Amino acid sequence: MTAAKVAGKNGNRVTAMLLLPTTLWFLLLLVMPLVVILVFSLGERAPAGGYQAALTLEQYANLPARLKAFTNTLTLSPLGTLICMVIAYPLAYYLAIKAGRRAKALLLTLVIVPFWTSFLIRTYAWIYILGGRGIPRLLEMIGIEDLRLINTPTAVLIGIVYGYLPLMVFPIYVSLEKLDKGLLEASSDLGANPVRTFLQVTLPLSAPGLITGSLLVFILLMGEYLIPAILGGGKVFFVGNALVDLFLQSRNWPFGSAVAVALVVIMLVAIALYLSLAGRERGRQDVSII
């Protein structure tokens, strides 16, 4: 919208033409649906399902009925993001700083390879791995009995980390790769041991990658549907699953819309909080989101 405004002000036709597709895309596919959802969320469910015009906050008052979906999403998404960070950082560090050229190429390929197969299929594979004949069977052999993994929060978390790890690895890898290795030598030369060098130079300078990666993973996780549907088996469900249920099963569009609006609001607040915290930590440096 701002783009259109700027173009109009300048009266620059070329700029306007160039920005037209983006603007249309933006208006048609982002703004309009949002407006529709907002309007729906203030309406009522038609007797046969769907939307019936009204002006009421009843749907929002009803939100606590889906509290479980929200608490699941709001615990497992940040937790999943955190675990991804913890696993991805050392991997990215090794790739960017320690690995030789050949090892680097091989490992980067290995990180990408899973994308060659459908995410759905890969997630289905985890049903088997986590199911009765998978890991629990192996654990039985060494004496750990009656361990249930599938359809638990742990299973969903494993699926999340598995699916989203590459999204975390790449931004961190890029920021570490860009890091001038001379700075690490300078730090060492000035008397900082390797741990201090990491904390005072490597970590702050790779923070943009860390922030980008965590936002990417977190935002996508907040809207996750597939992993809880498959590995949570209806027992561990996210807001995404609740939405599918509300729109397609019970056809309660107004309530579904209210849930969707609530999710967007929560997400915006969470991201704003995170960025302001990250920004404060990093002083005046810009935080880039890809």
Partner 1 sequence: MARRNALAMTGGNRERAGGVPRDSSGQSADIEFAGVTKRFGEVVAVDDVSLSVERGAFYTFLGPSGCGKTTSLRLIAGFEQPDQGDVRIGGASVVGIPPYKRPVNMVFQHYALFPHLTVADNIGYGLRQRAPRPTNSEITGQVGEMLELVRLSGFETRRVWELSGGQQQRVALARALINHPTVLLLDEPLAALDRKLRREMQIELQTLQREVGITFVLVTHDQEEALSMSDTICIMRDGRIVQTGGPKELYDEPVNGYVADFVGKSNFFAGKVVEATGTGAAVELEGGRVLSGRRPKNGETLAPGARGVIAVRPELVHVTPTAGPTASQTDVEAPGRVKNRIFLGEHTEYLVGTQELGDILALVPKHVEASDGGFTPGDEVRIGWRTSAALSLAER
Which residues form the interface with partner 1 (CB under 8 A)? 180, 182-183, 185-193, 196-197, 200-201, 204-205, 282-283, 285
Q: Which is nearer to partner 1, 140 or 180 (CB)?
A: 180
* CB 182, min distance to partner 1, A: 4
* CB 35, min distance to partner 1, A: 42
**CA 64/CA 270 separation, integer angstroms:** 19
* CB 6, min distance to partner 1, A: 29
Q: Which is nearer to partner 1, 61 or 199 (CB)?
A: 199
If one counts every other C-beta atom within 10 angstroms of the C-beta of residue 207, the result is 17
**225 residue type, one letter:** Y
* CB 100, min distance to partner 1, A: 12
Residue corresponding to tokens 């742990």 = 154
* CB 206, min distance to partner 1, A: 10
Q: Which is nearer to partner 1, 196 or 235 (CB)?
A: 196
232: Cα separation from own chain's centroid = 18
**CA 252/CA 256 separation, integer angstroms:** 6
In the 8-state DSSP scheme, what is residue 202? I
Cα within 13 Å of Cα(169), Cβ side: 20
Q: Which is nearer to partner 1, 145 or 189 (CB)?
A: 189
Helix (H) or strand (E) holding 156: helix 153-178
**CA 172/CA 179 separation, integer angstroms:** 11
* CB 188, min distance to partner 1, A: 4
Contact 168, 216 (CB under 8 A): yes
**33 residue type, one letter:** P
Q: Which is nearer to partner 1, 102 or 133 (CB)?
A: 102
Q: Which is nearer to partner 1, 81 or 187 (CB)?
A: 187
Task: Give the β-pairing of 44-45 and 51-52.
Answer: antiparallel
Q: Which is nearer to partner 1, 31 or 277 (CB)?
A: 277
Closest CA to 227 of 75, 67, 13, 77: 77
Contact 29, 237 (CB under 8 A): no
Closest CA to 133 of 155, 121, 150, 109: 150
Residue corresponding to tokens 């199911």 = 131
Q: Which is nearer to partner 1, 204 or 233 (CB)?
A: 204
Q: What phi and psi values does residue 44 have, to the nearest 5 degrees?
A: -125, 160
* CB 180, min distance to partner 1, A: 7
* CB 183, min distance to partner 1, A: 5
